[in-house]
Amino acid sequence: MPRNIVILGGGTGGTLTANRLRKHFKPSDAVISVVDKNRYHIYQPGLLFVPFGLAYADDLIRPRERQFKKGIDFYESEVDHVDIEGRKVFLDDGRALAYDALIIATGARIVPEETEGLTGDGWMEKMFTFYDAPGATALARAYNEFEGGRIVVNVADMPIKCPVAPLEFCFLTDWYFQEKGIRDKVEITYVTPLDNAFTKPRAASALAGLLDEKGVKLVTEFNTGEVDGPGGRLISYDEREVPFDLAVVIPVHSGAEFVGRSEGLGDALDFVETDKHTLQSKASPAIFAIGDAANLPASKAGSVSHFEGEILVENVIRFLADKELDASFDGHANCFIETGFSKALLIDFNYNQEPVEGHYPTKVGMPLLKESRLNHLGKLMFQWFYWHSLLPGRDIPGINPDMPTSGKHLN
């Protein structure tokens, strides 16, 4: 009898997991099913470039099913809930899928309506987000027409996907209005709930330095309680205010709603409670989580899903064979940070090691925590790589899930 492996979510993590599992299991050994609520796969890192006219949302989208290898069943539906005891997933359309192993890869979603006023008067007119395709496209129009004034870039609260993207957005905003020749008429302020530009000390000071160099003001420890569109103000819970003419807000994020509807599966924000080394859910040994859906203390980034993939697949195989799991995921993340003017920075870190200077993956490699053109090319190449290597689930020679230390300046 073939085993049933069900994967919820066919984005970055779900697709690469499905493809890796399909390579491992013969069709007679496993039926692999993927459920996703919509039929298009979007390359989310590309959204960063849309507001600046450097990419178009349509070019970032491909049919979801075509990213799967042959022999993977695709169900287009919302998930209603998981019956953990009964090992069954109930879909919105009434169907139920029984599983021997379940992988949750439904990512994180933005919840702008949770912040008072954000989706009220002025939403998509003077308050925008670039975290989805309609928002990024509307913002491109607004930037194109912008003639000067105060722009604020605000992270409403953590956690968010790709925590460096708002900083990249600030750097590119500086570049964009310099190119337009009106930088002197534009004031840019980065407003964050963190106590510095980023969480990890060495990267935070490097990034705060870059903001300063580019004339971007920094407001820290600001927990956005309300956005007043007509009055043009961000208001924090402790009653501080930041005025704006145009606000780019990264809304608060939650996990998928069905996680909340599945008793015992998720935390307060509907992220799946997951063991940070094995990727097994705490609710049941038959459930695993990958990517943004998991509540790990790691970045919510595509690179993390990629590094998790190899270990997750190994563990699903071991679980189905009644073997002990491999507890080796180290929280490895690797992010390019676009800084404008065709340059970028690279950071590489894990649960224990903060980003530091040096080179990646070895002493001869891309410079870490330092602006370079090579890193910018790396960032652009990543898109090709995403569709042709990462999603198909190929291993990349020289790039391993474990974070390398040989090129890093560790003291």
Partner 1 sequence: MTTTTFADRQVELTDDGFFADPSQWSEDLVPALAAADGIDELTDDHWTVIRFMRKEYLENGTGPNVRAHGKTSGYTEKQLYKLFPKGPAKVAARLAGISKPRGCI
Ligand X SMILES: Cc1cc2nc3c(=O)[nH]c(=O)nc-3n(C[C@H](O)[C@H](O)[C@H](O)COP(=O)(O)OP(=O)(O)OC[C@H]3O[C@@H](n4cnc5c(N)ncnc54)[C@H](O)[C@@H]3O)c2cc1C
Using CB under 6 A, pick the residue from 38, 144, 342, 406 that binds ligand X: 38
DSSP 228-283: ETTTTEEEETTS-EEE-SEEEEE--EE--HHHHHSTTSB-TTSPBPB-TTT-BBSS
The binding track of 162-191 with respect to ligand X, each residue x by CB under 6 A or -, is x--x--------------------------
Would you count residue 301 as binding ligand X (CB under 6 A)? yes
Strand partners, 219: 191
Considering CB distances under 5 to 8 angstroms, the limit depending on partner class, which of partner 1, ligand X, none binds residue 238? Answer: partner 1
- The span from the CA of 320 to the CA of 84, in Å, is 17
Helices (H), 45-190: 133-145, 165-179
Residue whose C-alpha is closest to residue 109's, from 11, 40, 221:
11
What are the structure tokens assigned to 14, written together? 């779900």
Minimal CB distance to ligand X: which residue?
Answer: 11
Strand partners, 98: 88
- The span from the CA of 201 to the CA of 138, in Å, is 35
Considering CB distances under 5 to 8 angstroms, the limit depending on partner class, which of partner 1, ligand X, none binds residue 256? Answer: ligand X
Query: With CB under 6 A as the contact rule, which of the stretches 24-32, 103-111, 213-221, 340-348 interacts with ligand X?
Result: 103-111
How many chain residues interact with ligand X (CB under 6 A)?
Answer: 35
Pairing of strands 216-219, 333-340: unpaired
Would you count residue 346 as binding ligand X (CB under 6 A)? no
Query: With CB under 6 A as the contact rule, which of the stretches 137-145, 234-242, 299-307, 342-350 interacts with ligand X?
Result: 299-307
Helices (H), 146-197: 165-179
What end-to-end distance do the CA atoms of the chain give, in Å?
Answer: 54
Would you count residue 292 as binding ligand X (CB under 6 A)? yes
Considering CB distances under 5 to 8 angstroms, the limit depending on partner class, which of partner 1, ligand X, none binds residue 302? Answer: ligand X
In terms of phi and psi (left: phi > 0; alpha: psi -120 to 50; beta: otherwise), the region of 330 is: alpha
Q: In whole angstroms, what separates CA 185 from the centre of its chain?
A: 32
Q: How many CB atoms lie within 10 A of CB 290?
A: 33
Of 235 and 252, which CB lies nearer to ligand X in the complex structure? 252
Q: How many CB atoms lie within 10 A of CB 403?
A: 20
Of 60 and 108, which CB lies nearer to partner 1 in the complex structure? 108
Would you count residue 131 as binding ligand X (CB under 6 A)? yes
Would you count residue 305 as binding ligand X (CB under 6 A)? yes
Considering CB distances under 5 to 8 angstroms, the limit depending on partner class, which of partner 1, ligand X, none binds residue 389? Answer: none
Considering CB distances under 5 to 8 angstroms, the limit depending on partner class, which of partner 1, ligand X, none binds residue 158? Answer: partner 1
Would you count residue 308 as binding ligand X (CB under 6 A)? no
Cβ-contact 97, 35 below 8 angstroms: yes
Pairing of strands 61-63, 40-42: antiparallel
Would you count residue 51 as binding ligand X (CB under 6 A)? no
Q: Which residue ranges make up the site for partner 1 (CB under 8 A)?
A: 157-159, 163, 194-195, 199-200, 221, 223, 225, 237-238, 252, 267-269, 297-299, 333
- State whether the Cα torsion 7-79-257-50 is positive or negative: positive
Using CB under 6 A, pick the residue from 5, 30, 48, 204 that binds ligand X: 48
Cβ-contact 20, 60 below 8 angstroms: no
Considering CB distances under 5 to 8 angstroms, the limit depending on partner class, which of ligand X, partner 1, none binds residue 245? Answer: none
Min separation Cβ 329 and partner 1, Å: 15
The binding track of 358-387 with respect to ligand X, each residue x by CB under 6 A or -, is ------------------------------
Of 163 and 232, which CB lies nearer to ligand X in the complex structure? 163
- The span from the CA of 26 to the CA of 100, in Å, is 16
Residue type, 189: T
Of 111 and 399, which CB lies nearer to partner 1 in the complex structure? 111
Of 335 and 356, which CB lies nearer to ligand X in the complex structure? 335
User: Where do contacts with ligand X occur on this chain (CB under 6 A)?
Assistant: 9-14, 35-38, 44-45, 47-48, 78-79, 105-107, 130-131, 161-162, 165, 256, 258, 291-293, 300-303, 305, 335
